[in-house]
Amino acid sequence: MDLGKALRSGVSQARVPTNSQSLLTPVHSRSGSRQESQVNQISGSSDDQKDNAYENEFGAPLTRQRTSGLRIQGHVSSSNTPPPTPRAKPRKLLKSTKAVVPHRAQIDAASNEWAPEQRRASRAHINRKDQEANLKWQLRRFFSNPNASSTATSSAAVSKLFDKYRENEKEEPDKIGVEGSMKYLQDLGVKLDEVVVLAVLTELEAPTMGEFTRDGFIDGWTKNRAETIPKQQSQIAHWRRSLSQTPDFFKRVHRSTFLLARLPGQKVLPLDTAIEYWRLLFTAPSLSWTTPSTPWLTWWIEYLEGNWKKSISKDMWDQTVIFVQKSLVDESMSWWNEDGAWPGVLDEFVMYVRQKRGGVGMEMDIG
């Protein structure tokens, strides 16, 4: 028996279920045109699909069939699977939506066609705008500080004057020491024991007694527009009057004196040093601390030397000048309040004054 014919005969007798078609449909070689027509009807393929037919391992011609809803070797594909979503066709851009970008060569050609006269006119316009903006900026600067140029000239003149009195040009070029300060004050016509010396040191921002720095010297005189010795002498005369007539100026000089008088590294003043400066500050031609019924300065020194005998702190120093100015306005001390934030030494001094007055003005305004 021919094995090939037997196998082909057995395969050709296989039945296909009526409700489905097999993936691979065998076709008998001896079936003729009728069987070939049936194969075409089952597969639904046209003449050009016959070229896709092939033979299986037994030599039988086979034709590829659609697999939708077929039972294949015990496996049934899902008939409920939704069909694939059709892809949307790409939309064509309208001509009006396409960006028109000029080519580089077109840009270069357009720039080359720009007339030289127009380029020059454009540059001239830009330069004119810059000049106008610069002029506006200079005008704003001038009107906001009209003395800027004169201030620079004055500073240079004051700096040159400073160089005249400095002692050690190489090692301390920005400092006037004690010897230079004494010579400078003599040229100004100021005596070293005058109270106005404290005003000069305060306004020129001296770091300590008998010493000037370049920055403080220049800033102080430039601010007062006094770059020459005659102008500085005139300004000093104004300061001398202000000590007795301008409370704020006197208070500033008084507070600065504490910093000038204390020794380096110290936070307090010795009592005897403080008393000497108070005698200088609270006596005419400075602010005279006395009233018709009360010699305030005399009693103040008596009380300190007899009862206090301690160093003077900065807080006590600053509160004393406030007490002095109030007592000159109202010697009856109606402004005094025991619950006020005064140092204890001033509370005790008030009681001392009342005792010295013999009970006059003992009533106090509380509240």
Q: Where are the domains of the chain?
A: 1-8+21-64, 266-367
The alpha carbon of 223 is separated from its chain's Cα centroid by a whole number of angstroms, namely 29
Range from 62-66, 108-112, 180-184, 186-190 carrying the lowest mean pLDDT: 62-66
In which band, very low, low, confident or very high, does the pLDDT at 23 lie, cut at 50, 70 and 90?
A: very low
CATH entry 1.10.238.200 includes domain 266-367:
yes
Q: Are 348 and 305 contacting, i.e. CB atoms less than 8 angstroms apart?
A: no
Q: Provide φ and ψ at 71, rounded to 5°.
A: -95, 120
Q: Which pLDDT does position 137 carry in this prediction?
A: 64
Instruction: Decide if pLDDT at 6 tops 50.
Output: no
The predicted-structure confidence for 92-121, as pLDDT tens digits, reads as follows 555 444 445 555 555 555 555 555 666 677
The predicted-structure confidence for 244-293, as pLDDT tens digits, reads as follows 999 999 999 999 999 999 988 899 999 999 999 999 999 999 999 999 98
Using alpha carbons, list the distances in angstroms from residue 220 to 41, 224, 225, 226, 323.
118, 7, 9, 9, 29
Report the DSSP pairing between strands 175-176 and 212-213.
antiparallel
Q: Which pLDDT does position 291 carry in this prediction?
A: 94
Omega before residue 173 within 30° of 0, cis: no
Q: Which pLDDT does position 108 carry in this prediction?
A: 56
Most confident stretch, 7-11, 75-79, 186-190: 186-190
Range from 18-22, 98-102, 131-135, 250-254 carrying the lowest mean pLDDT: 18-22
pTM for the full predicted model: 0.58
Q: Where are the beta strands (DSSP E) in 34-124?
A: 54-55, 61-62, 71-72, 75-76
Return the exposure string of 216-244: e unless at least 16 CB atoms fall within 10 Å of the residue's CB, then b: bbbbbbbebebbeeeebeebbeebbebbe
Q: Which pLDDT does position 107 carry in this prediction?
A: 55
The predicted-structure confidence for 145-169, as pLDDT tens digits, reads as follows 555 455 667 789 999 999 999 998 8
Give me the chain's average pLDDT, please: 75
